[in-house]
């Protein structure tokens, strides 16, 4: 039985897998935009600027090109066969059942650990305003609120994510406009030193050397995690053949504006030597410019980014568990939809694991946040690799005449996917080289062993589950 056959006896016309197509163009567009703006930019950029100086701008641009290759590959697959839990399904179809199983569970892990980190981060941000409120209390309140939103309906999830993203987008545009104003008119306390020359006059564009700049790529890739979330929304988009290409094709200008543009303006206004690990470059810049309550405003925006990420995590983990259950790779109970057409049990179990983050607010040392995000990055790289390899195999099948062509072909065919694969393997090598982030590869190795044992048990109990099955094709586009 394929996933398209599970969920309802007869899915209504326009529905996919029993889900409600409750995400409109406005919401899918903003989910895509919000996925490209996260805590990795608002907080992580500070440490990376200290390591790479102005060359971090180039690293974000380079990684952004690779991310666009990944998303165009995913887009071609989505318009060939749009399904919720997309990349796990494509891994299953083109590489075999084990890879679909491994990818779905690994993507679930990525969002669970990210949810833990974001809950902890959100509690820290609230602590900025209310230092007497215990952090675990704040984390628990946010966990319960977002859990309720995801249970009620996909429309409410989409609406909340729309406004979360709107806050982030508006804030970033405001920061860019203010920074350009300082550069152009020289107002504020930073006006006397603000200059485009700040990009090269303090030991050059690569002040710490090219090698040090390349080492920031792992942190840069973490900042781009979640751009693939638009693929998970495919089964619940009202009009996937129109909304998904539009969301993916706008990715380059989003990266150019929100990452490359914002960092360029910040580093022109404030020289790179002012930034350090643990300090948001945006908070630092606003403090030097002298805008009243600037730090508080940015703190609110970063809080929004953390809640947005956690909200997205709850959404995607529930769908991934349902995809696994539909394929017999998780308990069948996860395949059921609630009256509001949400995978309620999958969301509930995922939230329970994220709740570990509430407990960790008591015991986790500061370095643990970095460890958790590195695990999320490693899991994200695996997901991206599966998208790219699936795309290469799909293109081969189209050329051979075995599968229909997609209405949204990736430019350059499989060539760009090969380039992106090499780049991701290079980043994995950088992670292995760095002693601080290397721990995530040990975690992933342990995770692979656990999944391998689970697959062996699954194969012994139900051999049919581990056999390749032909997907049901639905003409789209």
Whole-angstrom Cα distance, residue 311 to residue 320? Answer: 15
Tokens 């997309």: give the residue. 86
Whole-angstrom Cα distance, residue 313 to residue 360? Answer: 18
Separation in Å, CA 33 to CA 38, 44, 189, 336:
10, 19, 32, 30
Express each pLDDT in 191-231 by its tens digit.
778 889 999 988 999 999 999 999 999 888 888 887 777 66
DSSP 232: H
Whole-angstrom Cα distance, residue 400 to residue 53? Answer: 48
Pick 2 or 105 by higher pLDDT: 105
Helices (H), 3-96: 25-35, 39-42, 44-52, 56-80, 86-94
DSSP per-residue letters across 233-286: GGGGBSSHHHHHHHHHHTHHHHIIIIIIIHHHHHHHHS-GGG--TTS-HHHHHH
Residue 5 has pLDDT above 50, yes or no: no
The pLDDT value recorded for residue 410 is 93
Q: Which pairs with CB-CB distance under 8 Å and at least 24 residues apart come from 434-437?
A: 434/215, 434/218, 436/370, 436/374, 437/218, 437/370, 437/374, 437/377
The pLDDT value recorded for residue 364 is 61
- What is the token pair recorded at 143? 């966990």
**E strand residue ranges, 193-234:** none
Query: pLDDT-based confidence at 166, cuts 50/70/90?
Result: confident
Overall average pLDDT of the 377-390 stretch: 94
328: left (phi over 0), alpha (psi -120 to 50) or beta: left
Query: pLDDT-based confidence at 4, cuts 50/70/90?
Result: very low
Query: pLDDT-based confidence at 33, cuts 50/70/90?
Result: low
3-class DSSP assignment, residue 19: strand
Residue ranges and CATH numbers for the domains of the chain are 24-466 (1.20.1740.10)
Query: pLDDT-based confidence at 232, cuts 50/70/90?
Result: low
Pick 47 or 382 by higher pLDDT: 382
Residue 15 has pLDDT above 50, yes or no: no
**Residues with Cβ < 8 Å from 137, sequence gap 6 or more?**
none
Express each pLDDT in 335-359 by its tens digit.
888 777 778 899 999 999 888 877 7
Express each pLDDT in 239-263 by its tens digit.
777 777 877 888 888 888 888 998 9
DSSP 434: -
Specify whether the CB–CB gap between 256 and 176 falls below 8 A: no
The pLDDT value recorded for residue 391 is 97
Overall average pLDDT of the 49-56 stretch: 92
The pLDDT value recorded for residue 388 is 97
Overall average pLDDT of the 30-36 stretch: 63
Burial 128-166, CB ≥16 within 10 A → b, else e: eeeeeeebbebbbebbeebbebbbebbbbbbbbbbebbe
């Amino acid at each position: 039985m394929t996933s398209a056959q599970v969920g309802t006896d007869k899915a209504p016309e326009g529905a996919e897998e029993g889900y409600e197509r409750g995400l409109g163009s406005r919401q899918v567009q903003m989910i895509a935009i919000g996925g490209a703006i996260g805590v990795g930019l608002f907080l992580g950029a500070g440490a990376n600027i200290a390591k790479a100086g102005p060359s971090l701008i180039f690293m974000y641009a380079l990684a952004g090109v690779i991310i666009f290759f990944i998303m165009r590959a995913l887009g071609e697959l989505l318009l060939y066969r749009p399904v919720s839990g997309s990349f796990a399904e494509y891994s299953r179809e083109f590489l075999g059942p084990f890879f679909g199983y491994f990818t779905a569970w690994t993507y679930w892990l990525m969002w669970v650990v990210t949810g833990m980190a974001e809950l902890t981060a959100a509690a820290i941000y609230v602590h900025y305003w209310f230092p007497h409120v215990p952090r675990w209390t704040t984390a628990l309140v946010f966990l319960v609120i977002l859990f309720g939103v995801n249970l009620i309906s996909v429309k409410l999830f989409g609406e909340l994510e729309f406004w979360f993203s709107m806050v982030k987008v508006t804030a970033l545009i405001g920061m860019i406009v203010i920074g350009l104003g300082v550069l152009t008119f020289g107002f504020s306390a930073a006006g006397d030193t603000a200059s485009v020359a700040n990009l090269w006059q303090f030991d050059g564009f690569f002040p710490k050397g090219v090698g040090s700049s390349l080492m920031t790529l792992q942190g840069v890739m973490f900042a781009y995690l979640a751009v693939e979330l638009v693929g998970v929304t495919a089964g619940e988009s009202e009009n996937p053949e129109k909304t998904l290409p539009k969301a993916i094709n706008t990715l380059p200008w989003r990266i150019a504006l929100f990452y490359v543009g914002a960092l360029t303006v910040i580093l022109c206004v404030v020289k790179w030597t002012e930034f350090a690990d643990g300090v948001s470059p945006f908070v630092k810049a606003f403090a030097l410019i002298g805008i009243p309550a600037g730090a508080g405003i940015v703190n609110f925006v970063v809080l929004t980014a953390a809640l947005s990420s956690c909200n997205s995590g709850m959404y995607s983990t529930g769908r991934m568990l349902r995809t696994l259950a539909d394929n017999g790779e998780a308990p069948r109970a996860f395949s059921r939809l609630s009256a509001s057409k949400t995978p309620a049990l999958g969301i509930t179990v995922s939230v329970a694991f994220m709740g570990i983050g509430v407990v960790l607010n008591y015991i986790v040392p500061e370095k643990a946040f970095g460890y958790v995000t590195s695990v999320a990055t490693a899991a994200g790289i695996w997901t991206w690799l599966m998208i790219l390899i699936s795309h290469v195999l799909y293109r081969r099948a189209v050329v051979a005449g075995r599968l229909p062509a997609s209405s949204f072909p990736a430019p350059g065919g499989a060539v760009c996917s090969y380039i992106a694969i090499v780049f991701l393997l290079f980043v994995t090598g950088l992670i292995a080289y760095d002693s601080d982030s290397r721990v995530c590869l040990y975690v992933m190795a342990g995770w692979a062993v656990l999944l391998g044992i689970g697959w062996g048990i699954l194969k012994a109990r139900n051999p049919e589950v581990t056999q390749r099955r032909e997907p049901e094709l639905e003409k789209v586009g």
